[in-house]
């Protein structure tokens, strides 16, 4: 049981990054369907920078923990910013359709990732990544001594805690600070925000780039921590990305709920590994559950119809100032 | 004594594509005065104010504030010069509280703390005499409360020059009075206020000076105490206008629409129309007076077939229309036009052109071909038969297509008749100014040649000239024998235009009075529920003596309806 929960929580971090990234983006009124592609991009950026770092140091079996983690995150963030800025430029500055731009970005991001990963030498890549992942997934030092508590709460790599910390920080920023208030106003009613002198485009760029970076770390985490450095294909990462977008609706655009929602989705995602699955069909049915849950939540949200659980009012709409 | 000038505009010009919105406009505003900006729809008042508040940038001309030339590039910029605008369509975030909306965008260097904001907002509110609950969310507020939030928003930023764009268009008389009190208090406090309005009595009441625009051009400025309503109208319209509504006398026909014991529920499930009886004859205008939100909308929608009737009967020429789909009701000749409070919502598609919007109502008609009788004369029989059948074939072939040409022709006629300001019949109506959009909506409903017109607030926010055009149109329809249900706001207008006035108070019919015999005071008492004429009279109240149906038939219909209702409930 603890094994299962442990797996669920570890897995949830991947969802948490993706979901939080999308929440931050959507708060500015932009629906970014490019998140799956950006998460893949995070794989490429994070892995490439780790690969280069390990190739540069004299003994690749003994990298510095802090440097490896930092360089990986920076790499992922840079690729997230790169892909996010494409999306932001197209939708904010050129006012392109958000859905189409996002879908195109996903297709681009997955292809881009495959090319980058093929740039690396396959044997070296495998060696490097299996070592890197042992470092990155390293549990907190005192986890073993605390019994089930330690196993359940302290046995994860640093990135899992980073995900939770980011969720909480985002929640505080959105609710308590002026920046958060302004960002929410931009997503709700950009014309109102503009009229009081908030720089709408700046906020949109900021939130899209931040959101993309967070999501990109999610991709890096997926490969380096969750699957222990095994990279075969981009499809699993992309699937996590799509689920993360669905999860945003499930969490009602609230960063705190994103933690709980991600753990639930993580559990649903890994449950098939722990069940005695006899056939392909049951397996498929189980992996189907998260989507069904999302549909149910969507339905109940629209039935409740309260203004407080609705998406940002101008979600998916571009803002033209001189439009009447 | 000349007070110092705070804001001065010199030769401002602004064009949108081919449309010239403002041409060489000059304007001065002094400290501690209220300036009215007067002009018809589309005369460029809002555009001009948007340039002062930094939403648009002027193509030519200069703006001076306290004697210094400034360039106002953004709304934020405008705030730093102490300019605050209260827009006609409120720019508020629905799910935020009043205080959150007010503090939005303020960068005063202090630490953000919503509690401090709340107390500061309350301070401002008490200083100028506003009533406001700072923790209430915007979507739960009435229009007047939202406006209060907008005004406090600019005061919170320390604005010295306030611009109010048609602030009274959506308020009740009591709310207007309250607003004016607040404005006077601000004036005493040394603020400069520019107010845009069409209502001349308000201009006379509140302002110190009046500046007039006509078709984007600056006409002149006069002191309010030295002018009259007639002079202002003349300056605004460019010609003398008779400020009088004539009540056309017609011979009333039999009742066209009879409503008995009607009850309708609102969106929230509460009874919005409660046991209402009335009837409209052909050639009669029945006014409906009442405070905003006391069942007018629900009544309209019930008649138009857009809302479920809870109880009672609606009879059109003796035939029940309850349960009929909206398109059948339209075909029976009942048309409804409802101008909502924010004037944009119902009935028109903003991205469609006037032609397209005309077609929204007439899309079922396609082009009809007929054979010219002259042509058939002297033709052999077989040839006449061929011509006729060719015509029939053409009719069938055109069935799937809408008749665009006819719609365009109608649109052109409408533009000419109502003097709608638009570059062409194909311009999307969202590019037109609010009043012009409204003319299209009301005009379309009248064009469709109905025998019952239900119209709610058709002149809401319209300028004088257009209002009178619409009154004339209604009177013309009345002459044709159409029955009109006119839901209005302005009691003076209703008393001049309508034959009878029904007063609603919380969905209840407080009585129906003859417009020529009643007084404003009586209507006011009925609106607030202090006077109930329906109680004093007998049971037959609001039922026509020469009804289309006998008493037995009414009873029968009632039973039928009851049965139908039960069946619906069972099903």
Cβ-based contacts of A202 with chain B (< 8 Å):
none
CA dihedral A166, A171, A176, A177 (to 10 degrees): 50
> How many domains does one find in chain B?
2
Summary mean pLDDT of chain B: 81
Are residues B204 and B305 both part of a single domain?
no
B310: number of Cβ within 10 Å: 16
- The answer to whether residues A27 and A58 touch, using CB atoms and an 8 Å cutoff, is no
The rounded distance, in Å, linking the Cα atoms of B371 and B390 is: 9
Burial of A185 (0-12, 13-18, 19+ CB in 10 A): buried
Are residues B99 and B233 both part of a single domain?
yes
The rounded distance, in Å, linking the Cα atoms of B36 and B25 is: 15
Question: What is the domain range of residue B322?
Answer: 255-365+402-570
Residue in A178, A191, A307 closest to B95 by CB: A307
Residue in B93, B105, B137 closest to A197 by CB: B105
Residue in A188, A197, A322 closest to B93 by CB: A188
- The residue with tokens 């038939």 is B553
Render each residue's pLDDT in chain A as its tens digit; 324 residues: 788 888 899 999 999 999 999 999 999 999 999 999 999 999 999 999 999 999 898 888 888 889 999 999 999 999 999 999 999 999 999 999 999 999 999 999 999 999 998 888 888 888 899 899 888 888 877 777 777 777 788 888 899 999 999 999 999 999 888 899 999 999 999 988 887 878 899 999 999 999 999 999 999 999 998 888 888 778 889 989 998 998 898 888 999 999 999 998 888 888 777 776 666 777 777 777 777 877 887 787 777 766 667 788 888 888 887 654
Are residues B198 and B309 both part of a single domain?
no
In a domain, B390, yes or no: no
Are residues B176 and B319 both part of a single domain?
no
In a domain, B385, yes or no: no
The rounded distance, in Å, linking the Cα atoms of B353 and B436 is: 12
How many residues appear in chain A? 324
Are residues B130 and B168 both part of a single domain?
yes
Task: Please give the pLDDT value at position B540.
Answer: 60
In angstroms, the separation between the Cα of residue A95 and the nearest Cα of chain B is 18
In a domain, A166, yes or no: yes
In a domain, A16, yes or no: yes
In a domain, B39, yes or no: yes
Interface of A with B in 184-243 (CB under 8 A): 184-185, 188-189, 191-199
In a domain, B250, yes or no: no
In a domain, B446, yes or no: yes
Contact assignment for B91 to A192 by CB distance below 8 Å: yes
- Report residue B513 as tokens: 């009075």
Cβ-based contacts of A189 with chain B (< 8 Å):
91-94
Interface of A with B in 61-120 (CB under 8 A): none
Question: What is the domain range of residue A32?
Answer: 2-309
In a domain, A295, yes or no: yes
- The tens digit of pLDDT for each residue in B57-68 reads 888 888 999 888
In a domain, A319, yes or no: no
pTM higher than 0.90 for the full model?
Answer: no
CATH of the domain at A148: 1.10.3470
In a domain, B135, yes or no: yes
Q: Which residue of A has its CA nearest to B93?
A: A189
Are residues B179 and B280 both part of a single domain?
no
Residue in A198, A308, A310 closest to B105 by CB: A198
Contact assignment for A178 to B94 by CB distance below 8 Å: no
- The tens digit of pLDDT for each residue in A81-129 reads 999 999 999 999 999 999 999 999 999 999 999 999 888 888 888 889 9
- The tens digit of pLDDT for each residue in B414-463 reads 888 777 878 887 888 777 776 777 778 777 877 777 888 888 888 776 77
Task: Please give the pLDDT value at position A324.
Answer: 40
In a domain, B357, yes or no: yes
In a domain, A277, yes or no: yes
Are residues B465 and B540 both part of a single domain?
yes
Are residues B46 and B160 both part of a single domain?
yes
In degrees, to the nearest 5, what angle opens at C-alpha B278 toward C-alphas B275 and B279? 145
Are residues B223 and B306 both part of a single domain?
no
In a domain, A265, yes or no: yes
CATH of the domain at B444: 3.40.50.300
Q: Is B430 on the interface with A (CB under 8 A)?
A: yes
Q: Is the pLDDT of residue B1 over 50?
A: no
In a domain, B379, yes or no: no
Domain boundary among B174, B205, B237: B237
Q: Is A307 on the interface with B (CB under 8 A)?
A: yes
ipTM of the complex: 0.80
The rounded distance, in Å, linking the Cα atoms of B3 and B28 is: 11
Interface of B with A in 119-138 (CB under 8 A): 137
Which of A192, A193, A311 has the most B C-beta neighbours within 10 Å, making it the best mutation to test the interface with B?
A: A192
Contact assignment for A189 to B94 by CB distance below 8 Å: yes
Q: Which residue of A has its CA nearest to B154?
A: A196
In a domain, A242, yes or no: yes
Are residues B329 and B195 both part of a single domain?
no
Residue in B104, B112, B139 closest to A196 by CB: B104
Domain boundary among B237, B268, B293: B237
Decide which of A252 and B249 is more confident: A252
Q: Is B565 on the interface with A (CB under 8 A)?
A: no
Are residues B419 and B344 both part of a single domain?
yes
Cβ-based contacts of B75 with chain A (< 8 Å):
194-197
Interface of A with B in 29-68 (CB under 8 A): none
Banded pLDDT at B244 (limits 50, 70, 90): low
Q: Which residue of A has its CA nearest to B114?
A: A176
Q: Is the pLDDT of residue B71 over 60?
A: yes
Question: DSSP character for B428?
Answer: B
Decide which of B142 and A20 is more confident: A20
> How many domains does one find in chain A?
1
Are residues B93 and B217 both part of a single domain?
yes
In a domain, A305, yes or no: yes
- The residue with tokens 């908030």 is A198
Domain boundary among B184, B203, B237: B237
- The answer to whether residues B320 and B313 touch, using CB atoms and an 8 Å cutoff, is yes
């Amino acid at each position: 049981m603890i094994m299962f929960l442990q797996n669920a929580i570890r897995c949830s971090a991947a969802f948490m990054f993706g979901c939080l990234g999308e929440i931050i983006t959507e708060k500015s009124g932009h629906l970014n369907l490019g998140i799956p592609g950006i998460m893949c991009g995070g794989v490429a950026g994070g892995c490439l920078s780790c690969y280069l770092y390990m190739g540069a140091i004299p003994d690749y079996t003994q990298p510095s923990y802090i440097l490896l983690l930092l360089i990986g995150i920076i790499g992922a963030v840079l690729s997230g910013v790169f892909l996010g800025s494409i999306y932001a430029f197209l939708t904010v500055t050129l006012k392109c359709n958000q859905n189409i731009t996002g879908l195109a970005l996903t297709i681009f991001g997955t292809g881009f990732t495959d090319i980058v990963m093929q740039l690396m030498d396959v044997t070296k890549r495998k060696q490097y990544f299996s070592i890197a992942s042992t470092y990155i997934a390293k549990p907190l030092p005192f986890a073993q001594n605390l019994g089930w508590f330690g196993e359940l709460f302290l046995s994860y790599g640093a990135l899992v805690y980073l995900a939770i910390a980011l969720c909480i920080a985002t929640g505080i920023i959105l609710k308590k600070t002026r920046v958060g208030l302004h960002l929410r106003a931009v997503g709700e009613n950009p014309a109102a925000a503009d009229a009081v002198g908030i720089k709408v485009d700046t906020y949109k760029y900021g939130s899209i780039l931040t959101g993309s970076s967070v999501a990109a770390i999610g991709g890096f985490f997926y490969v380096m921590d969750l699957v222990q450095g095994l990279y075969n294909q981009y499809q699993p990462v992309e699937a996590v990305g799509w689920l993360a977008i669905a999860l945003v609706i499930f969490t009602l655009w609230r960063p705190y709920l994103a933690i709980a929602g991600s753990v639930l989705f993580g559990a649903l995602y890994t449950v098939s590994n722990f069940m005695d699955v006899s056939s392909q069909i049951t397996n498929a049915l189980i992996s189907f559950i998260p989507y069904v849950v999302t549909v149910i939540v969507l339905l109940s949200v629209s039935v409740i119809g309260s203004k407080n659980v609705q998406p940002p009012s101008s979600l998916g709409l571009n803002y033209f100032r001189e439009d009447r | 004594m000349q007070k110092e000038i705070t804001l001065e505009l010199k030769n401002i010009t602004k064009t949108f594509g081919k449309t010239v919105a403002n041409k060489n406009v000059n304007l001065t505003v002094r400290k501690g005065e209220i300036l009215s900006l007067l002009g018809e729809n589309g005369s460029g008042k809002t555009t001009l104010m948007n340039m002062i508040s930094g939403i648009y940038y002027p193509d030519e001309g200069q703006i001076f504030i306290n004697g210094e030339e400034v360039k106002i590039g953004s709304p934020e910029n405008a705030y730093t010069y102490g300019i605050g605008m209260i827009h006609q369509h409120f720019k508020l975030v629905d799910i935020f509280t009043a205080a959150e909306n007010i503090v939005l965008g303020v960068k005063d260097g202090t630490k953000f703390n919503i509690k401090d904001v709340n107390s500061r907002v309350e301070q401002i509110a008490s200083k100028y005499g506003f009533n406001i609950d700072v923790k209430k969310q915007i979507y739960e507020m009435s229009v007047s409360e939202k406006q209060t939030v907008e005004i406090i928003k600019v005061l919170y930023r320390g604005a010295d020059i306030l611009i109010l764009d048609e602030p009274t268009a959506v308020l009740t008389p009591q709310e207007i009075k309250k607003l004016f009190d607040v404005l006077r208090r601000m004036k005493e406090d040394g603020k400069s206020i520019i107010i845009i309005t069409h209502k001349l009595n308000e201009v006379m009441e509140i302002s110190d000076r009046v500046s007039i625009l006509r078709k984007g051009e600056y006409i002149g400025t006069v002191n309010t105490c030295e002018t009259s309503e007639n002079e202002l109208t003349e300056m605004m319209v460019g010609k003398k206008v008779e400020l009088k509504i004539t009540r056309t006398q017609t011979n009333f026909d039999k009742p066209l629409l009879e409503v008995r014991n009607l009850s309708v529920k609102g969106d929230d499930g509460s009874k919005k129309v409660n046991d209402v009886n009335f009837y409209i004859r052909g050639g009669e205008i029945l006014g409906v007076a009442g405070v905003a939100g006391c069942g007018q909308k629900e009544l309209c929608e019930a008649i138009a077939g857009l809302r479920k009737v809870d109880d009672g009967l609606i009879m059109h020429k003796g035939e029940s229309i309850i349960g009929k789909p909206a398109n059948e009701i339209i075909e029976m000749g009942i048309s409804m036009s409802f101008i909502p409070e924010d004037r944009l919502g119902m009935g028109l598609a903003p991205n469609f052109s006037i032609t397209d919007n005309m077609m929204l109502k007439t899309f079922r008609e396609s082009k009809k071909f007929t054979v010219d009788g002259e042509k058939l004369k002297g033709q052999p029989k077989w040839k006449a038969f061929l011509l006729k059948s060719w015509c029939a074939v053409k009719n069938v072939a055109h069935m799937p297509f809408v008749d665009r040409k006819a719609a365009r022709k109608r649109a052109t006629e409408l533009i000419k008749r109502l003097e709608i300001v638009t570059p062409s019949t194909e311009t999307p109506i969202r590019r037109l100014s609010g009043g012009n959009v409204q003319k299209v909506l009301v005009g379309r409903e009248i064009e469709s040649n109905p025998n019952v017109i239900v119209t709610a607030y058709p002149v809401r926010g319209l300028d004088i000239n257009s209002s009178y055009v619409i009154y004339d149109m209604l009177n013309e329809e009345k002459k044709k024998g159409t029955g009109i249900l006119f839901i209005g706001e302005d009691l003076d207008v209703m008393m001049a235009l309508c034959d009878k006035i029904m007063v609603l108070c919380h969905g209840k019919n407080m009585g129906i009075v003859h417009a020529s015999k009643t007084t404003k005071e009586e209507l006011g008492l009925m609106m607030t529920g202090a006077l109930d004429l329906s109680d004093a009279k007998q049971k037959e109240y609001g039922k026509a003596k020469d009804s289309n149906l006998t008493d037995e038939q009414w009873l029968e219909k009632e039973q039928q309806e009851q049965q139908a209702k039960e069946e619906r409930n069972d099903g």
